[in-house]
Amino acid sequence: MTAESVWSDRLNPIVVKELRQAVQSRFVVAALLTLLVIQLAAMGLYLLTGAGSILDFSAGRNAFMMLYAILLAVSLIFVPFYTAVRLAAERSDSNVDLLFITTIKPRGIIAGKMAAAFVLTLLIFSACMPFLTFTYFLRGIDLSSIFAALGFGFVLVLGCTQLAVLLACLPMNRAFKTMLGVAALIMLSGLYIGILSWIGRVLYGSPAAVDEFAKVMTVLLLIIAFLGGLFFAISVAAIMPVAANRARVVRLFVTGAWVLIGLTAAIDSQVEKHHGAVMGWQILFNIVFSASLLAAVSERDHPGPRVLRAVPQSPLKRALAFLFFSGSANGLAWTVTMISLTLGLAWGWARLFPGRNGYWDLAGSVKWLGGMSLFFFCYALSGALLRRHLLKRIETQWTWVISAALMLLGIILPATIGYLLFSGEKWWTEDLGPWFVGNPFAWGVKNHRNLYASVAGVWAVLAAALTLPWFLERAREFYERPAMKE
């Protein structure tokens, strides 16, 4: 057996298939050739019009920014679009289903798609690299800046591709996916302009931008890595068969990232003597966990036999497994545990080092995000109670829609009632705060936090009390189930 065939055998079959198809695709070849022609034409025009004169010490920078903008625009649209459309088309018929009865795992499918996107991006960037490195000879830009910008752009394209893959994996109809795609495109446009202007400010020597370059780059790369990983985990869960333990991969990833980023934030706080990183950690994860509450109530009420067959036998492992297994009760237990831990640790850290910079910001953010999470808890549980007792015809997977509708009502209704009844009163215009009582995002209004906390507190206790019998029943089912083969 030749080395080539051994290597070919070891490759993920999805990568082999995707690359074979990409090579045969006229669309890919046309896109690549068009990009090269545009780059060549832009560079030629730039030089011919004399803009790139050797007397101009920023000629290299200008040319680089022009070519970089073209490369980033094409790659940010083409690679995510090409990868996502192909995956969505495969998912709309039985192609993906057929893969599940082979030895390929859902993780392998998404990893294969991303690896193929990686190679495609590499191909595009490699093809454009000669033009971009040529700008070095026009002066005004050094090679390290060129490669740093290219490297960052590369990672950004992959991050956006992972987002596109996630959208393609979501079990929604084409219209809804298109709407989400348009929303993602608008977001992408903003990101594109922001990244270009930031790199421009660094290259053109804005002192603040240059000083902060390494820090901003690190934070951005960390965010891309976290979101990329999260989108990867959710994509894997989304294409898994309904019968599988879909939630585990997402919960394990988020818990791992929570620990890692939390440790990094704590170390940064120790080194910098500032609470900023810990505050960022608690804000990021409380947002993720609050959103997870809506996902948790939309999970299956009863995990199927295939999920339960993997329940460990040891009571301790079984208790821990309860948090990480698919199931609505399991999801609620995990999110509530993680929210409590995040808030508790952030609050404890602030109290442990009260003299550090950013203490008040951290303490304030804990109250704000804690309040927000409490409201999310109330809406999620109320939505689930409504579905279980009054809207039984609605499937469990749509519980989040009921909860979101309740949240919308909670935000709009009190303010509308207040406006209709008291809009003529003078005090109404002076203090609108009390009318934001159902709004989870209004906890920034500090002088009414007691009111918000009282309402949310009573509501949460009631919702939890009504949910408790159902929760205990699910927990009992999980703990008492005899374990199958592990």
Tokens 């289903």 locate to 97
The least CB distance from residue 484 to another protein, in Å, is: 6
Structure tokens at 282: 């608690």
Alpha helices for 49-173 (secondary structure H): 59-92, 95-100, 106-134, 143-169
* 61 vs 353: CA distance, rounded Å: 45
The least CB distance from residue 101 to another protein, in Å, is: 5
Structure tokens at 195: 């990244």
Tokens 């809009």 locate to 423
**Residue (103 or 173) nearer to another protein, CB:** 103
The least CB distance from residue 243 to another protein, in Å, is: 3
Q: Are 199 and 149 in contact (CB under 8 A)?
A: yes
Residues that bind another protein (CB under 8 A): 1, 5-6, 9, 13, 16-17, 20-21, 24-25, 89-90, 93-95, 97-104, 241-243, 304-306, 309, 393, 395, 484-485
The least CB distance from residue 116 to another protein, in Å, is: 13
* 360 vs 368: CA distance, rounded Å: 12
**Residue (240 or 385) nearer to another protein, CB:** 240
**Residue (17 or 201) nearer to another protein, CB:** 17
Residue 301, SS3 per DSSP: coil
**Residue (93 or 480) nearer to another protein, CB:** 93
CA distances, 464 to each of 319, 341, 472 (Å): 20, 18, 11
The least CB distance from residue 399 to another protein, in Å, is: 14
**Residue (9 or 425) nearer to another protein, CB:** 9
The least CB distance from residue 120 to another protein, in Å, is: 14
The least CB distance from residue 154 to another protein, in Å, is: 25
**Residue (53 or 94) nearer to another protein, CB:** 94
Q: Are 278 and 266 in contact (CB under 8 A)?
A: yes
CA distances, 177 to each of 89, 182, 397, 482 (Å): 12, 9, 17, 41
Q: Are 242 and 171 in contact (CB under 8 A)?
A: no
**Residue (23 or 417) nearer to another protein, CB:** 23
Residue 274, SS3 per DSSP: strand
